[in-house]
């Protein structure tokens, strides 16, 4: 089932047939695909193989397709359930999370990087944060206070990623031994940066959700 068909099914299940509410369903679907993609990334760093890489690539493509549809609908719709700027920004932040996840796998393969414990810890936390964003979106309309709580938890998890990122960078530059070691350091720094970016975008998505709750559901 392609991304559009899955989205239509989600809209149907959520009972959101009115066009103005389809945007929430699209954001929920986008967040769900992103959460699934981060699950795959967590599996990849424990079992790096082409199958997992392809699964994450498919998640990234599906998420892109949902975002394209959302933007097209946004451009053609006058009335939206929340500010159109918030819809666009939230969709972009969620999309950036899965893009960063795919970039991580792509560069690990290109640069021939083996997963280490720092990578596994950061990715596990990013997976948890993506799940919280998904739950926040699913609860937004019916239980906004619960959605806000999930968003706050996502932010806290993102902060933990930043702490581990700093530890990883400090350890990376603690004492280069030779030129090969320096090259390895530079490669790992690029991978760490992708994960730091994913945490930053997850934090932005959480902030947008809390803002939306205050503006429209408080």
The pLDDT, as a whole number, for residue 16 is 40
Look at residue 15 in the predicted model and tell me its pLDDT.
45
Distances (CA, A) of 211 to 84, 135, 149, 216: 13, 16, 12, 9
Give the rounded distance of the alpha carbon of 67 from its chain centre: 13
Q: How many CB atoms lie within 10 A of CB 6?
A: 16
Q: What is the DSSP string of 146-202?
A: HHHHHHHHHHHHHHHHHHHHHHHHHHHTS---SHHHHHHHHHHHHHHHHHHHHHHHH
Mean pLDDT by 10 residues, the chain (218 residues): 64 48 91 97 94 94 95 90 94 96 93 94 97 97 96 97 95 79 89 95 97 90
**Stated pTM of the model:** 0.88
End-to-end CA distance of the chain: 37
3-state secondary structure of 80: coil
Residue 216's Cβ-count burial label (10 Å; 0-12, 13-18, 19+) is middle
CA distances from 1 to 18, 46, 70 (A): 23, 28, 18
Residue 17: per-residue pLDDT: 43
Burial track 8-21 (b if 16+ CB lie within 10 A, e otherwise): eebbeebebeeeeb
CATH topology of domain 3-217: Methane Monooxygenase Hydroxylase; Chain G, domain 1 (1.20.58)
So what's the pLDDT on residue 183?
Answer: 87
């Amino acid at each position: 089932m392609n991304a559009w068909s899955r989205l239509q099914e989600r809209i149907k299940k959520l009972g959101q047939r009115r066009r103005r509410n389809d945007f929430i369903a699209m954001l929920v679907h986008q967040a769900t695909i992103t959460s699934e993609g981060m699950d795959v990334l967590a599996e990849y760093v424990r079992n790096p193989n082409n199958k997992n890489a392809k699964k994450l690539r498919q998640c990234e493509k599906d998420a892109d397709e949902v975002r394209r549809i959302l933007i097209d609908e946004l451009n053609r719709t006058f009335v939206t359930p929340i500010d159109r700027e918030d819809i666009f920004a939230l969709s972009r932040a969620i999309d950036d999370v899965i893009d960063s996840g795919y970039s991580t796998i792509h560069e690990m393969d290109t640069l021939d990087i083996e997963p280490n414990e720092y990578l596994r810890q950061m990715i596990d936390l990013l997976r948890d944060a993506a799940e919280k964003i998904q739950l926040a979106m699913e609860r937004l309309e019916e239980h906004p206070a619960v959605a806000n709580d999930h968003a706050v938890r996502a932010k806290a998890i993102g902060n933990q990623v930043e702490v581990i990122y700093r530890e990883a960078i400090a350890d990376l530059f603690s004492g280069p031994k030779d030129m090969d070691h320096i090259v390895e350091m530079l490669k790992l720094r690029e991978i760490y940066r992708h994960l730091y970016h994913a945490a930053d975008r997850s934090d932005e998505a959480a902030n947008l959700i809390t803002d939306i709750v205050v503006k429209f559901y408080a």
